[in-house]
Amino acid sequence: MEAAKKGIITPEMEIVAAKEGLDFKKLMALVACGQVAIPANNRHHALSAEGVGTGLKTKVNVNLGVSGDCKDYTLELEKVKLALNHGVEAIMDLSNYGKTNTFRKQLIERSPAMIGTVPMYDAIGYLEKDLRSITPQDFMRVVRAHAEEGVDFMTIHAGINKRTIEAFKRAGRRTNIVSRGGSLLFAWMEMTGNENPFYEYYDDFLAILREFDVTISLGDALRPGCIDDSSDASQLSELIEMGHLTKRAWAKDVQVMVEGPGHMSINEIAANMVFQKKLCHNAPFYVLGPLVTDVAPGYDHITAAIGGAIAAANGADFLCYVTPAEHLRLPDINDVKEGIIATKIAAHAADIAKGIPKARDWDNKMSDARRKIDWDTMFELAIDGEKAEAYYESTPTEEKHSCSMCGKMCAMRTTNMILEGQTVTFHSEE
C-alpha cells in the first residue's frame, strides 16, 4: 500500500494487473486508496498474487485445517491439492488442534493461493494456556508467529469491544454469537473484565502486520447466525467500529478486507452491501455466505451460493465457500469439492452481473460449443468438466451429436440441419 501511495509499481501489482486485464496505473490507484487489497506476505515465496476489490473478479476462499476430531494432515493436504486444481484464489487454515504450524508451514511452502488464518483459533493450542490466563502480549506472540511463517491475511476480530458487546446484550439475539473467534474473545472479555486486546492494542498489532505486509481481514464477531438476527444493532454497531478501524489501518499502510454477514434473507442482502461499502469506505468486502435460509442442513453450499451470488452482484468482492457439511461436521474431500464448485458458480454469475471484463466471454464460448454440439469443447469449458462428461457418458446415445435428453429431437441438431439445407427425418423409410 505504501508503494502504491508513492506511485511505485510492485511485482505483485504487475501480476494482478495482467491477470485482471487492468491498466496497472488504475490498479495502483485502487490499491493506494484501499479499494483493492493484494494480500502478499513478503515471506510467502510460492504465492501467485491476487487482487481483491473494486472492479476485479470475485475471488473464492476455501477453509481447511486440522481439528481434535480430525487430525489427519494427509487428508487436509489432499483437500489443498483439490482446491488448487480447481483454481481457488485463497485458502484459510483454521486449524485449532495441536501444533498447527506443522500443517500451515507445508501449506505456505507449496501454495500459490494466498493463505489466511485466524490467530485467535490457534492461541489456546499454541500457547498451551487456558483462555482466561492468556494476556494481550500472548495474543501478539501468536499473530507474530503467523506473520513470520508467511500468512498473507489474518482475520482479526477487533470490532467487538465493550461498546458493541453492550449493543449485543441489549439486542436479545436468537442465536447469540456464532463466530468461533468472536465467542472466545467475548468469553475472555467477560471473564477478565478487560477490553478486547485486538482493539485496545490495535496499533501494536498493525505494526506486526505492516512489518510482513500482511493484510488485516476485520472479522465479524457479531455476524448474524440466523436470518432472524440479520441487520440488527449488534451486526451494524460492529460494522461501524470496523469502518473506523479500516481508516486506522490504512493510515499505517496496512491493507484491509472487511468480513460480512453469515445468515441473511435475500431481500436484505443488497442493502447490506451498500451499508458495508459506505461505512467501511469501499474497502474490499469478504462475505461468509450469506446463507439465505436456516432450514437446509446438508445443502448449505446451495443456500450460501444463492446469497453469495446476490452479495457479489451488489458489491461483495470475496466469497468464502460453504460445504454441504456446514453445521453438521468437518467436510470430507467430496464436501470440499461441492463447496468449491457452488461458490465458483456464484462468483462467476456475479462477475457477469457486475460487468467484469471478459466474464461473459466464457459463457459465450460454451454457447457456441452447444450450438455446434461440440461435446469435447463443452467438457473443457465446464466449471466441473469431469462431472459433466461422466453424466453425458452414463447414458449412451444412438448418435454422438445429441444427448439422452432429446436424442434425435435435439433442438440444436434440428435447427442446424435446416439452416444447412438438410431434411430432418426421424424414421427410416421402408
Same domain, 77 and 201: yes
* Residue 304 covered by a domain: yes
* Residue 137 covered by a domain: yes
Same domain, 257 and 317: yes
Same domain, 208 and 254: yes
Same domain, 9 and 143: no
The pLDDT tens digits of the residues spanning 316-369 come to: 999 999 999 999 999 999 999 999 999 999 999 999 999 999 999 999 999 999
The pLDDT tens digits of the residues spanning 290-306 come to: 999 999 999 999 999 99
Same domain, 399 and 346: no
- 3 state SS of 423: coil
Of 354, 380, 403, which closes a domain? Answer: 354
* Residue 247 covered by a domain: yes
The CB-side HSE value for 9 (13 A sphere, CA atoms) comes to 11
**CATH label of the domain that carries residue 68:** 3.20.20.540
User: In this predicted structure, what is the pLDDT of residue 68?
Assistant: 60
C-alpha cell at position 325: 457439511
Same domain, 236 and 385: no
The answer to whether 74 and 354 are in contact (CB under 8 A) is: no
The pLDDT tens digits of the residues spanning 260-294 come to: 999 999 999 999 999 999 999 999 999 999 999 99
The pLDDT tens digits of the residues spanning 130-154 come to: 999 999 999 999 999 999 999 999 9
Say whether 410 counts as a known binding-site residue.
yes
Same domain, 224 and 323: yes
Which helix or strand (DSSP H or E) is residue 92 part of? strand 90-93
Say whether 428 counts as a known binding-site residue.
no
Give the whole-angstrom CA distance, residue 280 versus residue 271. Answer: 14
Q: Is the pLDDT of residue 429 over 60?
A: no
Q: How far are the Cα atoms of 30, 58, 100 from residue 53, in angstroms, in the given order? A: 8, 8, 30
Among 412, 372, 416, 417, which residue's Cα sits nearest to residue 425? 417
Say whether 403 counts as a known binding-site residue.
yes
Q: Is the pLDDT of residue 163 over 80?
A: yes
Say whether 179 counts as a known binding-site residue.
yes
**Would you say how long the chain is, in residues?**
430
User: In this predicted structure, what is the pLDDT of residue 430?
Assistant: 45
Q: Is the pLDDT of residue 201 over 90?
A: yes
Same domain, 319 and 383: no
Of 354, 384, 401, which closes a domain? Answer: 354
* Residue 429 covered by a domain: no
Say whether 286 counts as a known binding-site residue.
yes
The pLDDT tens digits of the residues spanning 5-49 come to: 999 999 999 999 999 999 999 999 999 999 999 999 999 999 999
Say whether 370 counts as a known binding-site residue.
no
Give the rounded percent of residues in the chain with a pLDDT score beyond 90. Answer: 86
Same domain, 258 and 406: no
Give the whole-angstrom CA distance, residue 79 versus residue 41. Answer: 23
**Which residue range forms the structural domain that includes residue 124?**
39-354
Say whether 271 counts as a known binding-site residue.
no
What sign does the dihedral 280-281-286-289 (CA atoms) show?
A: positive
Say whether 238 counts as a known binding-site residue.
no
Average pLDDT for residues 231-238, to the nearest whole number?
A: 96
Q: How confident is the model at residue 71 (pLDDT cuts 50, 70, 90)?
A: low
Say whether 222 counts as a known binding-site residue.
yes
Among 97, 100, 90, 41, which residue's Cα sits nearest to residue 63? 90
Say whether 140 counts as a known binding-site residue.
no
Same domain, 252 and 300: yes
Among 350, 138, 312, 5, which residue's Cα sits nearest to residue 290? 312
Average pLDDT for residues 88-112, to the nearest whole number?
A: 86
* Residue 424 covered by a domain: no
* Residue 427 covered by a domain: no
Say whether 33 counts as a known binding-site residue.
no
Q: Which residues of 122-131 are buried (b: 16+ CB within 10 A; e: fewer)?
A: bbbbbbeeee
Of 354, 384, 399, which closes a domain? Answer: 354
User: In this predicted structure, what is the pLDDT of residue 129?
Assistant: 87
The pLDDT tens digits of the residues spanning 45-62 come to: 999 999 999 999 999 999
Give the whole-angstrom CA distance, residue 79 versus residue 88. Answer: 12
Q: Among the listed ranges 93-97, 116-120, 189-193, 241-245, which one has the minimum average pLDDT value?
A: 93-97
- 3 state SS of 117: strand
- 3 state SS of 263: strand
Average pLDDT along the chain: 94
Give the whole-angstrom CA distance, residue 17 versus residue 51. Answer: 9
Say whether 220 counts as a known binding-site residue.
yes
Average pLDDT for residues 375-383, to the nearest whole number?
A: 97
* Residue 206 covered by a domain: yes
Q: How confident is the model at residue 408 (pLDDT cuts 50, 70, 90)?
A: confident
Q: At what angle do helices 119-127 and 136-149 cross, to 10 degrees?
A: 110
Residue 94: DSSP 8-state: -
* Residue 426 covered by a domain: no
H helices of 1-65, where? 2-5, 11-20, 24-33
Among 38, 344, 81, 353, which residue's Cα sits nearest to residue 213? 38
User: In this predicted structure, what is the pLDDT of residue 348?
Assistant: 98
C-alpha cell at position 320: 468464502
Q: What is the pTM of this model?
A: 0.95
Q: Is the pLDDT of residue 66 over 80?
A: no
Among 95, 110, 188, 195, which residue's Cα sits nearest to residue 146? 95
Same domain, 414 and 289: no
Say whether 392 counts as a known binding-site residue.
no
Number of domains in the chain: 3
User: In this predicted structure, what is the pLDDT of residue 404?
Assistant: 86
Q: How confident is the model at residue 257 (pLDDT cuts 50, 70, 90)?
A: very high
Same domain, 13 and 91: no
Identity of residue 302: I
The answer to whether 139 and 200 are in contact (CB under 8 A) is: no
